[in-house]
Structures are given as C-alpha cells and as structure tokens.
C-alpha cells in the first residue's frame, strides 16, 4: 500500500546528502518498476483472497461476503493503478494508488474478522509507513510525517468503525483493549517511523548510487558501441572477419590470410583540373558528396571499401566477380544521377574510371610496434590499379581483366567488347582488357552494339596480320561510331600496313607508363 507525493513525470534522479532537509528519491524508471511490482503482487493476492472468501464462506455470513468484495475492490484498484502506471497519466495512477492504499485497506479492515482485521491493518499500514519515499515519492519530513499521521488516524478510525457497524468486541470498552488493538499499532508505527528515519536516507542514497552506477555503465557501454561503430568506418568489419577476428582489439601485427577476391579501383578523370581554384574545404566537400553517392553501390553488391586514396576508391569483393561488375555498373548509374544534380547547380560533371581484376590477394596487417595498418597485397591488386588507369587511355569508364571474365558464371549477362592486349608496367605477362558498357548512355550503347560484329571481325583480322582487311573493317565501324578504341586499331593497322612487323609481332601493346 502507498500514498503519493508531487508529480513525478519529469523528476530526475536527485539524491540528497545524509542529514539534509529532504529524503533522497530515485529515478522515474525505478519508481515505476517498484510501483508495478507492488501493484501486481498486491492485486493478485487480493484477487485470490477475495475469490476464496466468496467461494467458501457460509451464505448466511454477510460480513465475510462483504469482506470478500472488499478484497476484490482492492484488487481492482491495484490493477487500475497498474494500467495507469503504464501510460502517460502518472498523476492519475498516483491518485488510484492513494485510494487503493487507504480506502481498499480500510474496507478490508472494517469488514474482516477481528483477528485478521488487526493483522491486515497493522501490516498494510506498516507498508505505508515504512516505504514512503521508495514507493510514494514522499521527499520531505513534513510530507512523511503527514503520511504517518494519516495512516495512524485511518487505522484507529477503522478499528472503531468495526465496533459501530457490527459490534466487534475485539476492541472493547476496557483500557487494555483500547491500548492493545487500537492505540498500540499506531504507537508502534510512530516508533518505527523514527527508527526508519535514522537509516532511511542512507538506504536510499545507496540505492541511488547503485542506479547512478548502472546509468554510468550504460553510458560507458553506449560510448563503447559508438566507438566500435566509428572504428568500423576506419577498418571494415569484413576485413576483420577475413582475418578471423571479431573486433579490432583482437588484431595483431602480422595477421594475414590469402584468398581469391575481385579488386575494384575507381578514380576521377582530370582531378587536378577539376579542383583547380577550389578551396581545400570545397574540395573535401566535393569528394565526400561523390563518395557518398558511390559507396552504397559497393555495399549493396557484397563488397566493402578497403580505403579511400585521395580521389580514388579501392573496394574488395569476396564473392563472385559479377558482384564487383554489378557494383561498378551501379556506381556509374549513381554518378550519372550525381552529375545531373551538379549540372542543375551549375557545377561541371565528374568523370570516373573503374578498373576490376580478379585474383589471389593477401589481406594482412603491417607496420610497427606503435602503428599498424590493415592492407591488401598482391600482384592482382597492382594489376587492378593499372587497369583503372588505362580507362583514360581508351576513354572507357569500365575496364575488366580477362581473369575477371573467366570466373563469371554467365559472361553473356553483360555487354562486353575486347579492348586490347597489353603488358603493363611491372608485369611480364600479357593481359587482355575488356570493356563492359552496360552503363553507357543509350545512344552510345546502341552504336557500339551495332558495330559489334564488324568490330570482332576487324580484331580477328588484325591479330592474324591481315592489316588491310582490318583497316577497312575498322573504318567502316568508325563511320557508324567514333571512339578511341576504334581509332587506335585503325591507326595501328594503317601503320603496320605501311611497315609490316617481323615474325615476333604478337599485337601486344607494351606500356611504359603506369
């Protein structure tokens, strides 16, 4: 049973020092939990007792039946207060608890048998006395004393009301009866109140300190979660998972794993010219806007960003190579939408080159005792970077290596054309480059597809040393669609026709620059 004090809707945890004028209180969350617990237990107990009273008492015992209804009424009051405690109507729930504490208990005491009336009254009102601050938000000596006085007066009134209503002789006219059953419990309440007051503030201080500790721990955990989320932005979780680690704290210098992956590099064409005259802040803003537009395409297709390298992006894909290609196509579509927004603001468009290679790489940590970095190593990574740089040479936004196409489950899922056979700087092996132009604007894509059969025939003639036939074929293609790749093959065919190569010629372009 309990009474209420001031409105607790927005009351924060406010412990008072021992010896201060008030009593420490707990937070609204703790108070609500205590209220709910008390209301559930009291409501269930009253419901069981009331049901038993009405089920098993003699039909001619009117007072016992009334007593059963009093218990049921108390149960209804408890569950009503419980329901209101779960809503925003906290003040109304306090009123319901006040009525339940005094009227419900009074009804049970007045209507019950003499022995149980004394027991119920003493125990019920003892709760009102002993737990005022914890359950009722009574925070000052004055309100606590008022609560004590009300509890004593209501108890005495209930005991004497029993005599008036149904001649109860448990409180007789003798001085002994008066002291034993009417005045002794209130006097005991007063003595208990003084004793409890001596330790009450310290008990609540301890409870409040415990709650502060829980709040501090919760804040610390929230900060740790935020820190982990921030660290993932610097070291991808996929990288840690590849190393067999759950979080960054487990990473050790020298951790490594070797596995096949697809590597994607994306870089801005003409970056220096683009940012010429821009402030550093404007440059960073431009890059962040671009990366923000491109990043979802990588994550949506099963990849993760290994690093941002100035104006470049390096991403890794642990699944099939089609994931990397789909991500690249989505990136180019996102870039087109991003450029539309830039154009509407009067800003120049951004051109992007993307290179993809598939092969074995090593993911690991390198550095020193004080500083380490998670990196990816391998010839496959270097080749992917070279392929990305070659997108400028051929003016094609998306180039992939033959290794990537070889691992595709369905090569015909994309629109592909061979671009060149090259030997890049730092490699002794030849690499065949392919353009995937699914993301090209429709007029350009349609023209490429239109000349595709003749272009393939021209390539076959070129590498079989039929340069006159190759030149004628490429010139027919150029009449329909003009691009750097077709012009390059036409010029090379013309030069080789004028100056035929020796028998060691393979048609491979040996590149001397990165």
CATH number of the domain at 331, please.
3.30.70.1230
Direct distance between the N- and C-terminal alpha carbons of the chain, in angstroms, rounded to an integer:
83
| 342 lies in the same domain as 300 | yes
* Residue 137 within a domain: yes
DSSP per-residue string spanning 10-40:
TPPPB---TTSSB--B--HHHHHHHHHHHHH
pLDDT score of 511: 77
pLDDT score of 33: 76
| 69 lies in the same domain as 164 | yes
| 218 lies in the same domain as 275 | no
pLDDT score of 122: 59
pLDDT score of 247: 65
* Residue 196 within a domain: yes
| 97 lies in the same domain as 189 | yes
* Residue 121 within a domain: yes
| 35 lies in the same domain as 171 | yes
- Print the domain residue range for 175: 28-224
pLDDT score of 462: 95
* Residue 276 within a domain: yes
Examine the fold and report which residue of 406, 440, 474 is the final residue of a domain before the chain moves on.
440
CA distances 214 to 221, 227, 305, 482, Å, are: 10, 20, 37, 71
Tally DSSP H helices, then E strands, for the chain. 19, 9
| 396 lies in the same domain as 295 | yes
pLDDT score of 18: 38
Report d(CA 336, CA 167) in Å as an integer. 94
Q: How many domains does the chain have?
A: 3
Residues 6+ apart with CB under 8 A from 210: none
| 407 lies in the same domain as 504 | no
Mean pLDDT by 10 residues, the chain (514 residues): 38 37 51 76 83 72 77 84 80 77 76 62 56 46 70 74 64 54 65 62 70 85 76 66 66 74 93 89 92 93 88 91 96 95 92 94 76 78 92 94 92 92 83 94 92 94 94 95 94 93 88 68
Examine the fold and report which residue of 391, 409, 440 is the final residue of a domain before the chain moves on.
440
| 361 lies in the same domain as 446 | no
| 379 lies in the same domain as 452 | no
Examine the fold and report which residue of 440, 460, 481 is the final residue of a domain before the chain moves on.
440
* Residue 13 within a domain: no
Report d(CA 346, CA 190) in Å as an integer. 82
CB 513 within 8 A of CB 422: no
| 448 lies in the same domain as 416 | no
Residues 6+ apart with CB under 8 A from 400: 321, 325, 355, 356, 357, 387, 433, 434, 436
**Residue with tokens 């990043």, as numbered in its chain:** 295
| 428 lies in the same domain as 465 | no
* Residue 447 within a domain: yes
| 278 lies in the same domain as 419 | yes
* Residue 19 within a domain: no
* Residue 22 within a domain: no
Pseudo-torsion of CA 99, 101, 106, 111, nearest 10°? 100
pLDDT score of 197: 60
């Amino acid at each position: 049973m309990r009474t209420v004090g001031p409105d607790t809707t927005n009351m924060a945890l406010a412990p008072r020092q021992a010896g201060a004028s008030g009593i420490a209180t707990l937070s609204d969350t703790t108070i609500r939990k205590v209220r709910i617990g008390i209301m559930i237990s009291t409501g269930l107990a009253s419901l069981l007792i009331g049901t038993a009273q009405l089920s098993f008492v003699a039909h001619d015992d009117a007072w016992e039946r009334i007593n059963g209804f009093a218990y049921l009424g108390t149960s209804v009051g408890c569950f009503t207060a419980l329901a209101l405690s779960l809503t925003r109507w906290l003040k109304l729930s306090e009123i319901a608890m006040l009525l339940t504490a005094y009227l419900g208990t009074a009804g049970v005491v007045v209507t019950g048998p003499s022995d149980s009336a004394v027991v119920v009254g003493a125990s019920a009102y003892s709760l009102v006395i002993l737990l005022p601050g914890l359950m009722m938000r009574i925070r000052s000596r004055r309100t606590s004393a008022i609560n004590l006085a009300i509890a004593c007066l209501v108890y005495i009134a209930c005991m004497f009301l029993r005599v008036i209503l149904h001649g109860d002789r448990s409180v007789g006219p003798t001085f002994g009866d008066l002291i034993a059953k009417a005045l002794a419990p209130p006097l005991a309440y007063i003595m208990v109140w003084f004793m409890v007051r001596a330790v009450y503030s310290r008990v609540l201080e301890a409870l409040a300190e415990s709650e502060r500790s829980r709040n501090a721990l919760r804040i610390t955990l929230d900060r740790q979660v935020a820190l982990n989320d921030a660290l993932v932005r610097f070291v991808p979780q996929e990288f840690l998972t590849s190393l067999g680690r759950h979080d960054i704290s487990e990473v050790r210098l020298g951790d490594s794993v070797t596995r096949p992956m697809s590597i994607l590099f994306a870089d801005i064409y003409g970056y220096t010219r683009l940012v010429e005259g821009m402030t550093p802040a404007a440059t960073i803003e431009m890059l962040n806007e671009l990366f923000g537009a491109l990043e979802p395409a990588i994550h949506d297709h099963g990849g993760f960003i290994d690093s941002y390298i100035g104006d470049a992006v390096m991403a890794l894909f642990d699944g099939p190579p089609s994931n990397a290609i789909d991500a690249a196509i989505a990136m180019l579509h996102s870039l087109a939408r991003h450029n539309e927004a830039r154009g509407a603001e009067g800003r120049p468009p951004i051109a992007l080159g993307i290179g993809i290679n598939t092969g074995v790489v090593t993911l690991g940590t390198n550095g020193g005792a004080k500083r380490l970095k998670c990196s990816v190593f391998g010839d496959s990574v270097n080749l992917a970077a070279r392929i990305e740089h070659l997108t400028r040479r051929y003016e094609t936004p998306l180039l992939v290596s033959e290794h990537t196409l070889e691992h595709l489950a369905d090569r015909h899922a994309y629109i592909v054309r061979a671009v060149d056979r090259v030997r890049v700087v730092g490699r002794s092996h030849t690499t065949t480059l392919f353009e995937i132009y699914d993301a090209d604007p429709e007029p350009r894509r349609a023209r490429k597809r239109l000349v595709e059969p003749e272009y393939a025939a021209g390539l076959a003639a070129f590498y079989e040393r039929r340069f006159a036939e190759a030149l004628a074929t490429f010139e027919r293609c150029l009449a329909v669609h003009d691009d750097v790749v077709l012009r390059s093959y036409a010029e090379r065919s013309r030069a080789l026709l004028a100056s035929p190569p020796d028998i060691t010629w393979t048609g491979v372009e040996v590149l001397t620059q990165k």
